[in-house]
Amino acid sequence: MTILDYVVPWAREGEAYSEGHLEYAWQHPEVLRMMSNENPLAPSDAVKEAITAAVEMGNRYPDPGDRLREKLAEMNGLTRHNVLLGNGSTEIIDILLRTFAEPGQEVIIPVPTFSMYERRARCNGIVPVLIPMTHEFDLDTSSILGAVNEETKFIFLCSPNNPTGRHIPIPIIRKILDLGLPTLIDEAYYELGRKPRTCVPLLDEFPNLIISRTFSKAYGLAGLRVGYAFASPLLIECMDKVKLPWNVSILTFAAVLAQLGDIADLKQKLELIVAGREYIQAELSTIPGLKVYPSEGNFLLIDGSGLGFSSNDIYEAMRDQYKIQLRPMQAHHGRDGLVRITVATEEENRACVEGLKQLFSNGQ
């Protein structure tokens, strides 16, 4: 026996979520960060002041977050009993898996999508059943329905989807919810849509529906780590038993409450992202042979395979020649040639567009 023999198989054999792209970015500050769907604007003065004041209470355990739960519930026509708080929406994903599935059981994940669903499933000993989307990134609904069996315990859906930027039509969501299986609709990019769409109105109709959101994207608080879920009070109560106590810090509570009160700052962030997204899409759409997919998030997906470029060709050339880090989509189970671009500042967006135009005009 070695010490590894005492480690559960899924911890020995599973694959952790890769943070290599972030490690590279922190080690190379000269490279533009357009790979992780971060907001390019720093927290507002109101948020900074709230954090500074909250430091005085750093010797105390955090409160249960009822003020924030009440505020989020009020904003969405719910009660605080419909709200669960997480250390980012990534913790919500992990809580859901541990609430609904046992090792060896299955969860359904349409791909390409956020790779965290698969990574956290495997690290919990749960089997991810990956259902490829169509070539144009529609859900293959019949294959999803056909994959359900007695071992299926959960379904992950992301809308708008990362990395495709597409909403899932409500009739399709209804058809999947009709199965009765616990189903997540990940609305991480909800605020960024041209016309924001949410499944919150479906909560009363479908007790198996869970919705997650985050403050990492539109609000620009990725480093402070806070996400949340909406569900029936019964499911929230069960999930609350699974989550760790004190999972959101005093500093984060202060920051988020200040951010929610700073409407002007959110408006500025949204306007910057929407304008940048439209600029990048319009400019890159002029490149013959390059496929640019419309998006409802703070990112755009491009396909350079028609120009003879692989995902890694684009990623490495942009990183090494133009000092811009984008995100190849292999980890998301995207086909070769797909690269995701995070919308950044006006200057950074221009640099990215010019770099890609030069790259594609020069060829391989």
Q: Rounded to an integer, what is the distance from CA 166 to the centroid of its chain?
A: 13
- Residue 131 confidence (pLDDT) above 80: yes
Q: What is the DSSP string of 213-260?
A: EESSSSS--GGG--EEEE--HHHHHHHHHHSPTT-S-HHHHHHHHHHH
Q: At what angle do helices 89-100 and 116-123 cross, to 10 degrees?
A: 40
Residues in the chain: 364
- Residue 307 confidence (pLDDT) above 60: yes
CA–CA distance, 81 with 233 (Å, rounded to integer): 5
- Position 17 scores a pLDDT of 66
Q: What is the DSSP string of 280-343?
A: HHHHHTTSTT-EEE--SSSEEEEE-GGGT--HHHHHHHHHHTT-EE-EESGGGTPPTTEEEEE-
- Residue 140 confidence (pLDDT) above 80: yes
**What are the extents of the domains in the chain?**
3-41+264-362, 45-261
Residue 199 in tokens: 């499944």
- Residue 12 confidence (pLDDT) above 90: no
Tens-digit pLDDT profile for residues 54-94? 999 999 999 889 999 999 999 999 999 999 999 999 999 99
- Position 16 scores a pLDDT of 73
CA–CA distance, 125 with 97 (Å, rounded to integer): 10
CATH 3.40.50.970 fits 3-41+264-362, yes or no: no
Tens-digit pLDDT profile for residues 161-180? 999 999 999 999 999 999 99
DSSP class of 7: S
Q: What is the mean pLDDT of the chain?
A: 94
CA–CA distance, 301 with 294 (Å, rounded to integer): 8
Q: Which residue's structure tokens are 């700073």?
A: 262
**Same-fold call for 3-41+264-362 versus 45-261:** no
CA–CA distance, 353 with 306 (Å, rounded to integer): 18
Mean pLDDT lowest among 1-10, 116-125, 132-141, 211-220: 1-10
CA–CA distances in Å: residue 53 to residues 6, 49, 56, 247, 259: 45, 6, 6, 20, 14
Q: Which residue's structure tokens are 């480690």?
A: 7
What is the average pLDDT across 232-243?
Answer: 96
CATH 3.40.640.10 fits 45-261, yes or no: yes
* H/E segment holding residue 86: strand 83-86
